Amino acid sequence: MATKQPPTLPNLRAGQPLSAHRVGRIMAELRDLAASTEGAATLYAPAADLGDGLTTAAWAQDRGSPAWIAALERAGDRVMRSETGLAAFRVGDAGLAILPPFPLDDTARLSTGIADGPLLALLAAEYTVGVALVRLGRYAIAVYEGQRLAASKTDTRYVKGKHHAGGTSQRRFQRVRENQIHRLYTKASQVLRQQWQPYLNRLDYVVLGGEAGTVNGFVKECDLLHRLAPITQERRLDVREPNRAALDAVGAMLYQCRVYPLRWDG
Read off the CATH number of the domain in which 183 is found.
Answer: 3.30.420.60
Percentage above 90 pLDDT, the chain: 66
**Is 30 in the same domain as 108?**
yes
Res. 132: pLDDT tops 90: yes
Res. 36: pLDDT tops 60: yes
97: containing domain: 16-125
**Is 37 in the same domain as 105?**
yes
Task: Say if residues 71 and 17 touch (Cβ distance below 8 Å).
Answer: no
Q: Which residues pair with 144 in a beta bridge?
A: 129, 149
The CATH number covering residue 40 comes to: 3.30.960.10
d(CA 195, CA 156) in angstroms, rounded, equals 16
Looking from the CA of 23 toward its CB, the CA atoms found within 13 Å total 30
Chosen domain end from 125, 156, 185: 125
**Is 183 in the same domain as 240?**
yes
Per-residue confidence (pLDDT) for residue 106, from 0 to 100:
67
Percentage above 70 pLDDT, the chain: 88
Q: Which residues does 213 contact at the CB level (< 8 Å), separation at least 6?
A: none
Q: Which of 142, 143, 106 is nearest to 123 (CA)?
A: 106
Mean pLDDT in residue range 147-162: 78
**Is 97 in the same domain as 148?**
no
**Is 218 in the same domain as 241?**
yes
Element (H, E) at 123: helix 117-124
**Is 63 in the same domain as 21?**
yes
In a domain, 40, yes or no: yes
**Is 121 in the same domain as 132?**
no
Res. 259: pLDDT tops 60: yes
Chosen domain end from 99, 125, 151: 125
pLDDT-derived band of residue 182, with 50, 70 and 90 as boundaries? confident
Chosen domain end from 125, 148, 168: 125
Res. 168: pLDDT tops 90: no
d(CA 76, CA 99) in angstroms, rounded, equals 13
Per-residue confidence (pLDDT) for residue 74, from 0 to 100:
92
Res. 2: pLDDT tops 50: no
d(CA 159, CA 157) in angstroms, rounded, equals 6
Per-residue confidence (pLDDT) for residue 60, from 0 to 100:
83
**Is 135 in the same domain as 249?**
yes
* Structure-model confidence comparison of residues 240 and 258, the more confident one: 258
In a domain, 9, yes or no: no
Looking from the CA of 149 toward its CB, the CA atoms found within 13 Å total 19
Res. 4: pLDDT tops 50: no
In a domain, 261, yes or no: no
Q: For the chain, what is the domain count?
A: 2
pLDDT-derived band of residue 165, with 50, 70 and 90 as boundaries? low
In a domain, 5, yes or no: no
Q: What is the mean pLDDT of the chain?
A: 88
In a domain, 91, yes or no: yes
Per-residue confidence (pLDDT) for residue 161, from 0 to 100:
55
**Is 101 in the same domain as 184?**
no
pLDDT-derived band of residue 252, with 50, 70 and 90 as boundaries? very high
